[in-house]
Amino acid sequence: MFVLILVKIGGSVITDKNVYRRFREDSCKKIIQTLSILNEDLIMTHGAGSFGHIIAKKSGFPKKFKQEDVHAFSIVHKDVLDLNTRIAGIMLEEGLSPISIPTQSIYRNGSPDLTDFKKYLSLGFTPLGMGDVILRAGMIKIISADDLLVALSAVFKPNLVIFMTDVDGIYDNDPKTVSDAKLLKSIDRNIAFSQVMNDVTGGMKSKYEKILKIRKHAGKVVVVNGNKPERLNDIGEKDFIGTVI
């Protein structure tokens, strides 16, 4: 049914966002197992979770570059690469052929150069992008994997884009702080978003704004619980648990 699928594995699923560099290997493995058996063309990206957001926030990123930022910038970048290597390792174990495409090297100008994604996808690899910090025009910027999906969707026109977070989809309020928050099975109204702790990319609100841009180029966009990746098999069914945009 699907031909090209773009995925963001959220840092909220594969890391503990409250604990610096805590990787959730089992959750990551389960997601990759589920994606690999879909047997479709895949472009994967992942967020930074506690491998990026904690130090970035502590260091005041994004901000104007100052010499004293060099070390923290370097730590965030190295931690993101560490997370990326762990994910790529699991992908290999599950029979995929990942190729990591560093955000550092594709954001040379204002918009990203996606040539490598195209090249490797056409050769049967699974391109793997990541949220990272970049230096541009005297600024330290944060490129979220959500930003990458906006750019990738405009070029690849995917049939399906999947966002995975640690909750069941998009709610009418933050389900972690509002006990009667309701899951929106499909989006048709404005939502009150709360800031996500330890997140420097605007949490769910900014994700939703990016999803609306992606929606223009994609057949379907879904937000699902990455801890229950098997729900992907129910997309299109009445009892699918997640948000369809």
- Reported as type and span, the H/E element at residue 84 is helix 70-93
Q: Which does 173 bind (CB under 5 to 8 A by kind): ligand IP8, ligand ATP, none?
A: ligand ATP
> Residue 23, interface with ligand ATP (CB under 6 A)?
no
In 36-82, where do the E strands start and end?
A: 41-46, 63-64
Q: Which does 225 bind (CB under 5 to 8 A by kind): ligand ATP, ligand IP8, none?
A: none
Q: Which residue number, 118 or 213, has a Cβ lying nearer to ligand ATP? A: 213
Q: At closest approach, how far in Å is the CB of 34 from ligand IP8?
A: 20
Whole-number Å distance between alpha carbons of 40 and 162: 13
From 53, 116, 133, 152, residue interacting with ligand ATP (rule: CB under 6 A): 53
Q: At closest approach, how far in Å is the CB of 97 from ligand ATP?
A: 23
Whole-number Å distance between alpha carbons of 204 and 197: 11
Tell me if 101 sits within 8 A of 120, measured CB to CB.
yes
Helical packing angle, 70-93 and 25-38, nearest 10°: 50
Positions touching ligand IP8 (CB under 6 A) are: 11, 47-48, 52-53, 56, 76, 80, 131-133, 142, 144-146, 200-201
> Residue 87, interface with ligand ATP (CB under 6 A)?
no
> Residue 61, interface with ligand ATP (CB under 6 A)?
no
> Residue 229, interface with ligand ATP (CB under 6 A)?
no
Please, which residues have CB within 8 angstroms of residue 89's CB and are 6 or more apart in sequence?
none
Token pair for 2: 């699907």
Tally of residues, the chain: 245
- The amino acid at residue 64 is K
**Binding residues vs ligand ATP (CB under 6 A):** 10-13, 47-49, 53, 165-167, 170-171, 173-176, 191, 193-194, 196, 199, 201, 203-204, 207
